[in-house]
Structure 1
């Protein structure tokens, strides 16, 4: 289905009829039959998955439709722009090509089980609805005319025949009856409208006003996608033999588990303006670290040791946080205070320098993101996933009670954990413990985004404290 070697055929500044993708909206009827590179294959899917993962998070966090639409729009602006057909100065076909390819790659990743298919279709439906509502009316109409939705336009005579019944379903603010258009479809195609008693039913037909025309479109999109996902699943055994993409698809299918994050490689100046000293870590851990790193820090302080994977995970986190290699050596030496200098130098110093790219192959290793931590063996792992419910509740209270979390918050958090949305639970903890800094429910770590990386959590927490201190300083100067 996919070949290697990228092909780029930009068509910006062309007439509308010359566009390879004439509409911003897409039912994804045709698979991508052009050549793509492995890099394009993966990046197009990852950028789309960032959006779908945040849509999934919005659903779990019970965001309103307007909030979900805003968050989705913001994510699309960052990762998957899809400009109007009339937009100038942009390569519309390149944007739509990426959208098209990313959709089909994720089909491959999420067709493997009924649960993954369900979640993928649900997220894609939301993305389509957001685009449908935000599309220019003229372009939306052009898209609708380009497809056969198998609806029957109600003639004027029939409309007048059922005038009284049709008017009874109108609400204040709707288009006046005389100016409204109606379409007939079998009632099974608009179950949402039937359930809400928003349409007149007669003889097995639902009379749908133009204002609710979108329900027919959404139902058609969902039905087609569900059918396509089942068909795709039947061909997966063939693709599993392709070693080039098997690992990519496995990683993508974990996307709803922990969101999708990039590698954090911020310098100390980016993090907090000053390099972090070894003696500062205790205080920072108590105020700013996410649960996974707080757990590692507490284990280190209690046992004066961490296993290999614990040291690797926590050490890389501290490195990206802004702890220099010199300060890192000081920190770990003081932490391992039950061994002598010679043992420390032989067993640990080389590995610390290696993680900073100063030994061995001198690679600049990134800190582990949430997805990597969640899919690890569980030691140290993610507390939200790997702790028992009892231990998790106890740990949450003992760790975050000083920052504002109470037992009243536990039912909401534990339900989210039970449903498998671990990064959403972590995000909610961030919101609760930073309420005094002005963070409201649904804001996440900024712009509605969920936590997808421990350093993302810590950076935002430290930034909030810095902003608060700057405000106090400014008030003292002006007073």
Structure 2
């Protein structure tokens, strides 16, 4: 993850000198819902620039994963609500115990930073708009009714509320849409909005509106469709404008690395860095083989099997697997014992000269003495691409489809994975949702422990880190053992 050691400032007004006077104004957010029309023209620290964008990206990445996993809207809404509570809280104005203006300012800033990151290609813009629209809908449906109505009144959606005379004119057609009339068919209390049909093409396609002379008569229950279409169109136009202006920022090296990191967030989600043992217990060298067979994700299982077969791993393989084991709970002494036993075809002198230093270095005991974290799914997917004879990388991305299917069946068939399950896993791989495929394999192989489809590694969350996968698998097994003892 990109870290910033200095507290430096970024001033958006420098991108557009004509608007520099706007930076003197403080943004005031009257509503919880936001179409993000006004840019945040004020100074922010680079720490905040990155922090609030990452918080928002975690939510959007989980929304994208939900689409890839074909979750129902209610499931997506539930997962997104939990993610927002943890990373992107946004309370209504009636919440008296929180600083709602600070929450809305952070939400506003994060959105505009991600605009800069995701405006760079048509595919990124499309995915960003889809995820942002879903987030807006979740907030819209959970918003305070009165506040939501005031928000709608504050904007021009180019709709006209249909009067009673016009409702009376189309009684038969409107009753076909489910509009309830009085017994004498003279009046209805249900609201009806008239808009140009191009504003609601989805409702026209589903035949949920009445069409007359290019106008669509939209029942109040379908009002959200008008709002969402307006939100999408507004954001699409804004992203196009941002894409044309982004070249002004390319010379600022403080930002390009952050934005490039952000734009990869949809590939494998956004993982928190793991820096401590995830099992809660220290593991020994002689436990690794058994743990690998029961709890490791496919990337680490493949590295372990290559190590056991060849009695050697190349540099990037040792780095990926060694850091994973360190964070899993393997101490420095046990790590040296594990690698010495694994490299059994080497003499002690050769092992000590060529490999022992690197093991100690990864634990922060040599060199610059940094405590290196284990690699996340995003880092494994996007850095150090494996060559023909390498074992590192992500099998879901770097294996040929036939080899991947063979490997999955050979590795996990004893844990419940069948050839029938492969079709769904391979579909997500083909669509480029590699961490979603890994999450689905986790659900299948832990189904006997009560993990259901859609549960992920807990509360619907997708796998974004190999240690996250292993830790949850070990936790589930411990819970089962505890239940068995109680029984």
SS of the aligned residue for 1:361 comes to: coil
The equivalent residue for 1:112 is: 120
1:247 corresponds to which of 257, 273, 277: 257
The answer on whether the counterparts of 2:11 and 2:43 sit within 8 Å (CA) in structure 1 is yes
The answer on whether the counterparts of 1:2 and 1:33 sit within 8 Å (CA) in structure 2 is no
**Which residues in structure 2 correspond to 1:365-404 (within 5 Å)?**
365-379=372-386, 380-404=392-416
Offset at residue 357 of structure 1 (A): 1.2
1:316 corresponds to which of 323, 330, 342: 323
Structure 1 residues 276 and 22: alpha-carbon distance in aligned structure 2, compared to 1, 3 A threshold: same
The equivalent residue for 1:14 is: none
**Which residues in structure 2 correspond to 1:318-357 (within 5 Å)?**
318-357=325-364
Q: Once the two structures are superposed, what CA deviation does each residue of 1:126-154 show, in whole Å capped at 9, x if it has no partner?
A: 00000000001001001001111111111
The answer on whether the counterparts of 2:10 and 2:46 sit within 8 Å (CA) in structure 1 is no
**Which residues in structure 2 correspond to 1:61-460 (within 5 Å)?**
61-170=69-178, 178-267=188-277, 271-379=278-386, 380-460=392-472
Q: Could you tell me how far apart the structure 2 residues matched to 1:333 and 1:438 are?
A: 38
Moved over 6 A (4+): none
Q: Once the two structures are superposed, what CA deviation does each residue of 1:348-397 show, in whole Å capped at 9, x if it has no partner?
A: 11111111111222111100000000002322111110111111111111
Q: Could you tell me how far apart the structure 1 residues matched to 2:204 and 2:227 are?
A: 15
Q: Could you tell me how far apart the structure 2 residues matched to 1:244 and 1:154 are?
A: 53
For structure 1, list consecutive stretches of 5 or more residues without a partner in the other structure. Answer: 6-17
> Normalising to structure 1: TM-score of the pair?
0.93
Q: How many corresponding residue pairs?
A: 458
The answer on whether the counterparts of 1:424 and 1:450 sit within 8 Å (CA) in structure 2 is yes
Q: Could you tell me how far apart the structure 1 residues matched to 2:236 and 2:294 are?
A: 46
Q: Could you tell me how far apart the structure 2 residues matched to 1:252 and 1:172 are?
A: 49
SS of the aligned residue for 1:309 comes to: helix
Offset at residue 164 of structure 1 (A): 2.0
Q: Could you tell me how far apart the structure 1 residues matched to 2:180 and 2:144 are?
A: 24
SS of the aligned residue for 1:179 comes to: coil
The equivalent residue for 1:57 is: 65
Q: Could you tell me how far apart the structure 2 residues matched to 1:99 and 1:90 are?
A: 15
> Normalising to structure 2: TM-score of the pair?
0.92
The equivalent residue for 1:470 is: 482
Q: Could you tell me how far apart the structure 2 residues matched to 1:315 and 1:329 are?
A: 10
The answer on whether the counterparts of 1:257 and 1:421 sit within 8 Å (CA) in structure 2 is yes
The answer on whether the counterparts of 2:12 and 2:42 sit within 8 Å (CA) in structure 1 is no
SS of the aligned residue for 1:451 comes to: coil
Q: Could you tell me how far apart the structure 2 residues matched to 1:468 and 1:330 are?
A: 30
